[in-house]
């Protein structure tokens, strides 16, 4: 499983990547859309975990841009705002496979990723 993590909080995203690698998951991270798109160009990913709020280019917009290049990519969104219920209702519009509310429990994240990737 190859994961791309995108969040503007470098400390958060780097730590999350490190913790995932402890569990044998190959995770790369980026703090903005531009970095994320660069990584997409060079590397192979199965799933992207995106923060909804990103500077300049937002999470939903980034998802569209990634999908243009990698149509098969799956997406999980993280948010510090609202509850999972809220986003369940909105998932049809945003096309996300899953939402997680920050702070994210690593076990929950892995479980969701596995679920999304089947």
Partner 1 sequence: MSLLEKIKPKFWDAEESEGLSDFRQLWYLTVLLTLEVTLAPLIFMTLADYNVTQKSVESEILLRTSRLVSNTRRSVSFFLDERRSALNFVVYDTPFSELNDPLGLASILENLKKSFGGFADIGVIDAQGRQKNYAGPYRLEGIDYSGQEWFREMVEHGNYISDVFMGFRQVPHLVIAVRCSLPDSCFYVLRAAVDTERFNDLLSQLEVSGQGDAFIINHEGILQTPSRYHGKVLEKISLSVPKFSEKTEVFEGRGAGAEDVIIGYAYIADSPFILMIVKKKNELMKSWQTTRMKIAGFLAVSITVILFVTLGVATYLINKIYVLEQNRASIMHGMEYSNKMASLGRLAAGVAHEINNPLAIINEKAGLVKDMFTFRKEYAKDEKLIGIVDVIVSSVERCAVIARRLLNFARHIDVNVQSLSLKEVIHEVLGFLGKEAEYRSISVSVSVPDDMPQIESDRGKLQEIFLNLINNAFAAMKDEGKLDISAKQENRDSVSVTFTDNGCGISEQNLSRIFEPFFSTKTKVGGTGLGLSITYGLVKKMGGDIRVKSEPGKGASFTVTLPIKADQKEKGEDIHASLIGG
Number of CB atoms found within 10 A of residue 90's CB: 13
- In the DSSP assignment, the letter for residue 92 is H
**Residue 41 vs 105, nearer CB to partner 1:** 105
Number of CB atoms found within 10 A of residue 33's CB: 22
- In the DSSP assignment, the letter for residue 7 is -
Regarding 82 and contact with partner 1 (CB under 8 A), the answer is yes
Regarding 22 and contact with partner 1 (CB under 8 A), the answer is yes
Distance, CA of 46 to CA of 20 (rounded, Å): 14
Regarding 85 and contact with partner 1 (CB under 8 A), the answer is yes
**Residue 18 vs 64, nearer CB to partner 1:** 18
Residues forming the site for partner 1 (CB under 8 A)? 9, 11-12, 15-16, 18-19, 22-23, 80-83, 85-86, 89, 101-106
């Amino acid at each position: 499983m190859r994961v791309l993590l995108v969040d503007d909080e470098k400390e958060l995203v780097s730590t999350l990547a490190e913790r995932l690698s402890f569990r044998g998951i190959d995770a790369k991270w980026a703090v903005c859309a531009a970095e994320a798109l660069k990584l997409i160009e060079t590397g192979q990913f199965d799933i992207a975990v995106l923060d909804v709020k990103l500077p300049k280019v937002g999470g939903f917009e980034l998802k569209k841009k990634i999908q243009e290049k990698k149509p098969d990519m799956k997406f999980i969104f993280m948010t510090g705002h609202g509850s999972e219920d809220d986003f369940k209702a909105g998932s049809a519009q945003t096309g996300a496979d899953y939402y997680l509310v920050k702070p994210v429990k690593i076990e929950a994240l892995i479980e969701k990723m596995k679920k999304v990737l089947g």
